[in-house]
Amino acid sequence: MYMKGSYNKMPSPFVIGLKRGLKISLVLVVFYLLLDYFYFSKIENKNIVTLETKQSASIGGNFDLLGKDGQEYNQASFIGKPLIIFFGFASCPDICPYGLTMISNVLETLGDDSHRLNAVFVTLDPERDDYATTSQFASLFHEEIIGLSGNIEQIDRVTSAWKVYKKKVVLPDSELGYTIDHSAFIYLMDKNGEYYTHFSHNTEPEEILKELNKFL
């Protein structure tokens, strides 16, 4: 039996679908708001941990090496100015020249203020790079880059202190006989000889100067 007005009281499928859609949308909005909150909270906490780790990093320490004309250098030789230090070897085909070029560009950009910065290159190949060879190689890129070398034990100590990876790799088909696989970070130490940060060897000079200017 048909009852007058009963059809109007029944919600249409469209209305039912609309209400369900609104409910689902509301649930999704709340869900993504909560997800967004927890996600960015984790990102913020991660950044804090990274900063704390960076500040407490144990990189650097005393060393005894030789530079141009056999002059002795140690950590105290560079106290009072920020220090950029890079590790490589004179027969390095690409990474070392690239890193030294970046350091040279930093010094060139500083211009007359370049004397306010210590720039050092330490060889990882003391068997072939004595202090004369290392000094000459470093000066090819900029006269103010100090090249340092030492015996195998001295180089092992300084690379251990700076957390530098190095490995001698034999090249049986090369006249060189061997090469050195190594990490390629440019380290920035503050005026007290404490580690501040490091850069990859292909970091643009502007990025290095941005951090360096905090100490100049």
98 and 193, same domain (yes or no): yes
Residue 216's pLDDT band (cuts 50, 70, 90) = confident
Per-residue pLDDT, 185 = 96
32 and 113, same domain (yes or no): no
The C-alpha angle 156, 162, 168, rounded to 5 degrees, equals 40
- pLDDT above 50: residue 165: yes
pLDDT tens-digit map of 58-72: 899 999 999 999 999
Rounded CA separation 122/140 (Å): 14
- Asked, for residue 3, whether it belongs to a domain, the answer is no
82 and 179, same domain (yes or no): yes
pLDDT tens-digit map of 82-134: 999 999 999 999 999 999 999 999 999 999 999 999 999 999 999 999 999 99
Rounded CA separation 214/208 (Å): 11
Q: How many domains does the chain have?
A: 2
Instruction: Output the average pLDDT for the chain.
Output: 82
Q: Which residues have CB under 8 Å from 179's CB, separation 6+?
A: 91, 92, 168, 169, 171
- Asked, for residue 156, whether it belongs to a domain, the answer is yes
Rounded CA separation 192/61 (Å): 11
pTM of the full structure: 0.74
161 and 185, same domain (yes or no): yes
Arithmetic mean of pLDDT, 185-201: 95
Domain that holds residue 92: 64-212
φ and ψ at residue 55, rounded to 5 degrees: -70, -30
- Asked, for residue 97, whether it belongs to a domain, the answer is yes
Rounded CA separation 61/64 (Å): 10
128 and 150, same domain (yes or no): yes
CATH number at residue 173: 3.40.30.10
Residue 36's pLDDT band (cuts 50, 70, 90) = very low
Per-residue pLDDT, 50 = 33
- pLDDT above 60: residue 205: yes
